[in-house]
Amino acid sequence: MILDVAATRARLTPDAPALLWQGRWLTYAELDDRAERLAAALRAAGVGKGDRVALLAHNHVAHVDMILATAKTGAVYTPLNVRLAEREQRELAAYLRPALVMHDDDNAAKAAATGVRTWDLGEHEARLAAAEPAPRAPGYDAVVGPEDVQMILLTGGTTGLPKGAMLPYRQGFYNAVNTVMSWGLRADDCVVQATPCYHAAVNAFTVPLLHVGGRVVLQRAFDPGEYLRLVQEARATVMFLVPTMFHMLAAHESFARADLSGVRWAISGGAPCPEPVRAAFTRRGVPMRQGYGLTEAGVNCFATTQDVADAKPHSVGVPMLHGEAVVRRPDGTPCEPGETGELTLRGPHVFLGYFEREEATREVLRDGWLWTGDLAVVDADGVFAIVGRRKEMFISGGENVYPTEVEAAIYDHEAVAECAVVGVPDERWGEVGLARVVLKPGRSLTEHELREFLYARLARFKVPKHIDLAPDLPKSGAGKVLKRDIAAAFTARHLEEEEA
């Protein structure tokens, strides 16, 4: 099992371009040298095996340096979400207890608020240049083992303080193998890493491509115009973004004339990709696929062929090479084809548990299976589709309503740019739907018109009782829609109206 990816790739393809950062390609030999130097600097600073090293920074080469240096030191890569406030960073530092916090200029104050020793990434290159790597004998993978923790990645944190998911080296290896083999990644593939490195998305393409010897372009922060330019200049062959980012690309002025001929396919993660966005890329000759993964399992869990993706656009395909999936009822029995239940996963790509959260770990890891909290359905062909989050499903008048299904119907309206559906309390029905809808520029649509449109497509209990035509949707740093914020804003507004 390959644990020190940097050293192995440096032996196999030392001169091959690996990472584009700030206009310069770093080779695999250079990445390994940088990782060795960072490991030496960490050891000199007293950082040892098992110590957490936090990164509080936008996308930066230091994220890749640290990921590759873990196998050389045993230190644990522990990135922090830059969007969180100083108080939240302080609480996370008290929970994770990192040995030090690396930070960029934008996050210096937040890093200082943790009360932990800090390293300014403005001095990162100088620190690497000054480090003196010790000579290493062949086979020094022995520094770590497959079950040692390589990364602690924070979960979404939609309810209280985020939990730290402990990802062992075994998981990183099998996620890479699964992705390369099941998705058909090649050494000549290239991706633009635009999603934040402090999320699990860094393991979607960047880490697997470093295993197979491909190329990664690191974008500091997502900008649709720059992203399209990088895709063309680097001849990117695959695209991985969340639906919000794909929507921003399709709406950008240069999208129609961008040269996307080198892209083999694009995959949407994080949430179902709206049909209008999928259609926009299909018209540009870019085949679209729907992905699925979560921090606790990989992050890539399913694979699909383009034929299946085209025929069943809302499906995620079948389990990866080294992985199993079963849709289950609450009592643990498997669902029948077409029956909605909770997705459970098993395989070497599943995490160890949550850092110092034993009860939360027991809730999701049961009898060797990971209970994902996601609702899914599998058809007669064995193809899986994600229906939504178990916690997002709501019951209206005794009937289950799945927001993903309602959102898909709303997106069928040509005036709709974005939408999100959540359940909110209702005195008569228990819960009803609230749809927050963003219209395309220059388009008009009333609540009545949208409801009449939906009545022809959905059962009446599924049609949202409340429709909020809004200028935007609240989103996280990873581009995911913050449905909790939508529901909270609705509740606060109605409380104010009652008090008035």
pLDDT of residue 205 exceeding 80? yes
- The per-residue pLDDT for 292 is 92
H/E stretch holding 29: helix 28-44
**Integer Cα distance of 324 and 349 in angstroms:** 10
Can you say whether the dihedral through the CA atoms of 115, 120, 124, 126 is positive or negative?
Answer: negative
Q: Where are the beta strands (DSSP E) in 49-132?
A: 52-56, 76-79, 100-103, 118-120
Is the confidence at residue 500, as pLDDT, over 60? Answer: no
**Residue 226 has what pLDDT?**
97
Instruction: For 157-186, write each residue's pLDDT tens digit.
Output: 444 678 999 999 999 999 999 999 999 999
Alpha-carbon distance values, 280 to 11, 273, 387 (Å): 42, 11, 23
Residue type at 184?
Answer: G
Residue 159, pLDDT score: 44
pLDDT of residue 158: 42
Which amino acid would we find at residue 323? G
pLDDT at 498: 59
Structural contact between residues 58 and 105, judged by C-beta atoms closer than 8 angstroms? no
Question: What pLDDT, on the 0 to 100 scale, is given for residue 276?
Answer: 85
- Rounded mean pLDDT of 401-425? 90
Higher pLDDT, 84 or 320: 320
3-state SS assignment for residue 151: strand
Pick the CATH number of 1-145 from 3.40.50.12780, 2.40.10.10, 1.10.3860.10, 3.40.50.150: 3.40.50.12780
Q: Give the integer Cα–Cα distance in Å for 414 and 214.
A: 39
CB neighbours of 149 closer than 8 A, spacing ≥ 6?
A: 50, 76, 166, 167, 168, 352
Burial of 72 (0-12, 13-18, 19+ CB in 10 A): buried
- Give the least confident one: 83-97, 187-201, 460-474, 479-493: 479-493
The pair of structure tokens assigned to 9 is 């790739």
**Rounded to the nearest 5°, which phi and psi values hold at 326?**
-140, 135
With 90 as the cut, is the pLDDT of residue 229 above it? yes
Distance CA 5, CA 211 (A): 6
Helix (H) or strand (E) holding 101: strand 100-103
Judge whether residue 209 has pLDDT over 80.
yes
Q: What is the mean pLDDT of residues 234-260?
A: 93
Same fold, 1-145 and 167-389: yes
pLDDT digits (tens, 9 = 90+) for 23-44: 999 999 999 999 999 999 999 9
The whole-chain average pLDDT of the chain stands at 92
Vertex 176 angle, CA 217 and 67, to 5°:
60
Residue 348 confidence class, pLDDT cut points 50, 70, 90:
very high
pLDDT at 202 over 50: yes
CB 243 within 8 A of CB 271: yes
The pLDDT > 90 percentage for the chain reads 75
Which has the higher per-residue pLDDT, 427 or 496?
427
Per-residue HEC secondary structure of 219-241 comes to: CCCCCHHHHHHHHHHCCCCEEEE
416, pLDDT greater than 80: yes
Tokens of 146: 């497959």
Q: pLDDT value at position 480?
A: 78
pLDDT for the residue 404: 84
Cα separation of 220 and 58, whole Å?
A: 6
Mean pLDDT across the stretch 355-378?
A: 95
Least confident of 47-56, 304-313, 437-446, 481-490: 481-490
CATH architecture of 394-499: 2-Layer Sandwich (3.30)
- Which tokens in the block code for residue 150? 């390589």
pLDDT at 346: 97
Answer yes or no: are the C-beta atoms of 422 and 390 closer than 8 Å: no
The two structure tokens encoding residue 8: 């192995």
- For the question of whether the overall pTM of this predicted structure is more than 0.95, the answer is no
CATH number of the domain at 167-389, out of 3.30.2130.10, 1.20.140.10, 3.40.1080.10, 3.40.50.12780? 3.40.50.12780
Domain ranges, ordered by start, for the chain: 1-145, 167-389, 394-499
With bands split at pLDDT 50, 70 and 90, how would you rate the model's confidence at 372? very high
In DSSP notation, 251-295 reads: HSTTTTT---TT--EEEE-SSPPPHHHHHHHHHTT--EEE----G
Look at the block and give the residue holding tokens 């973004």.
241
Average pLDDT over residues 256-269: 95
Residue 138 binned pLDDT confidence (cut-offs 50, 70, 90): low
